[in-house]
Amino acid sequence: MRKRIVAGNWKMNLDHREGARLAGEILGGLKNRVPQCEIVVMPSFTSLHAVGEALRGSCVSLGAQDLWHEESGAFTGEVSAGMISAAGCRYVLVGHSERRHILGEGRDLLSEKLRAALKGGLSPIYCVGELIEEREAGRAEETVSRQVEEVLGGLDAGGMSKVAIAYEPVWAIGTGRTATTGDASGMHGVIRDLLSKLFGRGTAGETPILYGGSVKPDNARALLSAGDIDGALVGGASLAGDSFLGIVFPT
């Protein structure tokens, strides 16, 4: 059965004390409940250690929001896959829209980062998604397909087995606008068909495809029960224990 994941991307929020407190709140809310998904929290680099300590021995996994693709050296300000893994992370985001569109990251760099994550033993969550202009011009599927193929194309089945994809329409991130369940599920189907062409049906069927873009407790149930949606990548609503848990356990 395909893995389901709900991941909280804390972005540039919460210092290490606040992060450890939120981790404690999440663990408190999990007592005597069995989540139907893997839960991941992705604090900033400076909070990884403290949050990792707070989560030690629990079922909640740690992830980082980004990495640099070189193993070490003169790359001031950057953090390698090895460092992230040593800090206790299993997951790392690659290609989040804020890195694509604010920091200008594109195909070549994202390919290198994704391969460095795999080489360093991390599971990348590779983010794709169209801009509003691309959707309005009828080019959403073409954009997302290109983003999938240009970075994931050429991976072997072993590599792909560690990858999850997050479909996050850029116009839905942090805006309160959510894709309709049908639109999201339709795009997930497009991605899965493409994975099938690139890697075969077996690998395509095993790859988790998460939805991201203003997921909240009140829309989580509809989104997470739609066909081909295997979980959520959550920004704003992951910053408070009750709203994040309301997505992990949607009602």
Can you give the binding site for ligand PEP, defined by CB under 6 A? 9, 168, 173-174, 212-215, 233-237
Residue nearer to ligand PEP on the CB measure, 207 or 219 = 219
Taking the complex as a whole, the smallest distance from the CB of residue 11 to ligand PEP amounts, in Å, to: 6
Is residue 10 within 8 A of residue 233, CB to CB? The reply is no
Taking the complex as a whole, the smallest distance from the CB of residue 220 to ligand PEP amounts, in Å, to: 11
Q: How far, in Å, CA of 61 to CA of 48, rounded?
A: 11
Long-range contacts from 55-61, C-beta under 8 angstroms, 24+ separation: 55/23, 55/27, 58/27, 58/30, 59/30, 59/35, 60/23, 60/26, 60/27, 60/30, 61/89, 61/90, 61/91
Residue nearer to ligand PEP on the CB measure, 99 or 192 = 99
Q: How far is CA 107 from CA 49, 93, 99, 145, in A?
A: 30, 15, 12, 13
Residue nearer to ligand PEP on the CB measure, 1 or 12 = 12
Q: Which of 130, 134, 168, 188 is catalytic?
A: 168
Q: Which of 38, 69, 96, 98 is catalytic?
A: 96
Residue nearer to ligand PEP on the CB measure, 109 or 166 = 166
Active site residue 96: yes
Taking the complex as a whole, the smallest distance from the CB of residue 215 to ligand PEP amounts, in Å, to: 5
Taking the complex as a whole, the smallest distance from the CB of residue 198 to ligand PEP amounts, in Å, to: 24
Quick one: tokens of 220? Answer: 């989580």
Q: How far, in Å, CA of 211 to CA of 184, rounded?
A: 7
Number of H helices and E strands in the chain, helices first, is: 12, 8
From 71, 144, 168, select the one nearest 113 (Cα to Cα). 71
Orientation of helix 140-152 relative to helix 107-119, angle to 10°: 50
Residue nearer to ligand PEP on the CB measure, 110 or 203 = 110
Active site residue 16: no
Taking the complex as a whole, the smallest distance from the CB of residue 72 to ligand PEP amounts, in Å, to: 29
Residue nearer to ligand PEP on the CB measure, 124 or 213 = 213
Taking the complex as a whole, the smallest distance from the CB of residue 8 to ligand PEP amounts, in Å, to: 9
Q: How far, in Å, CA of 170 to CA of 149, rounded?
A: 18
Is residue 138 within 8 A of residue 177, CB to CB? The reply is no
Quick one: tokens of 59? Answer: 């079922």
Q: Which residues are catalytic?
A: 96, 168
